Amino acid sequence: MEVERTFVMVKPDGVQRGLIGEVVSRLERKGLKIVAMKMLRIPKEMAETHYAEHREKPFFNALVSYITSGPVVAMVVEGKSAISVVRNLVGKTNPVEAEPGTIRGDLAMDIGRNVVHASDSPESAKREISIFFSDDEIVDYAKVDEDWVYER
Ligand code: IDP
């Protein structure tokens, strides 16, 4: 199990619905470590870069408009196998199919309003972190519970 960093974002619907704390709390309770966090409004160009892989999809314009419609909370989250661990906590893209117990399964109804984003691979984590954070915004620190979260 390798220590990984992943990019997580509470989308505008999550912020408006008062779900920032709920999402952060689920990540913390799992044992993940938040190593960077900020609120921002995503400029249109940055949204298009972040979602570049979907540029040709029919929902692309709606997606960019959704993600730029209000403030988001962006995070870098660290832990062993953090990319898969967070994707599992987040659940399937479409909340209709997302399992109960996952963020989307418990808190969302519509694929176009699915509360949270999380990187789906090491390559996308690296790319997405670098879009939202500079190296000096990511904090390297030890958490006191690490010996209780992980078997050494
Ligand atoms: P992910 O967020 O689970 O990684 P992706 O396939 O990368 O899912 O899609 C990015 C985002 O685009 C989704 O979270 C969702 O908000 C939106 N999206 C994906 N597919 C559709 C669709 O068919 N209709 C509307 N929005 C979609």
Q: Ligand 1 centre from 100 Cα, in Å?
A: 19
Sequence letter at residue 91: G
What tokens were used for 100? 């109960």
What tokens were used for 140? 């390297």
- Name the residue at shortest CA distance from atom 9 of ligand 1: 93
What tokens were used for 87? 């994707």
Who lines ligand 1 at CB under 6 A? Answer: 59, 63, 93, 111-112, 114, 117, 120
Q: Does domain 3-134 have CATH number 3.40.50.2000?
A: no
Task: Determine the Cα–Cα distance for residues 37 and 132; give it in Å rounded to an integer.
Answer: 10
Catalytic residue among 24, 117, 128, 132: 117
Q: Ligand 1 centre from 112 Cα, in Å?
A: 7
pLDDT in tens, 76-130: 999 999 999 999 999 999 999 999 999 999 999 999 999 999 999 999 999 999 9
Please report which confidence band the pLDDT of residue 152 belongs to, taking 50, 70 and 90 as the band edges: confident
Active site residue 50: no
Q: Could you give the C-alpha distances from 2 to 26, 79, 81, in angstroms and in order?
A: 21, 8, 6
pLDDT in tens, 34-73: 999 999 999 999 999 999 999 999 999 999 999 999 999 9
Q: Could you report the predicted ipTM of this complex, rounded to two decimals?
A: 0.98
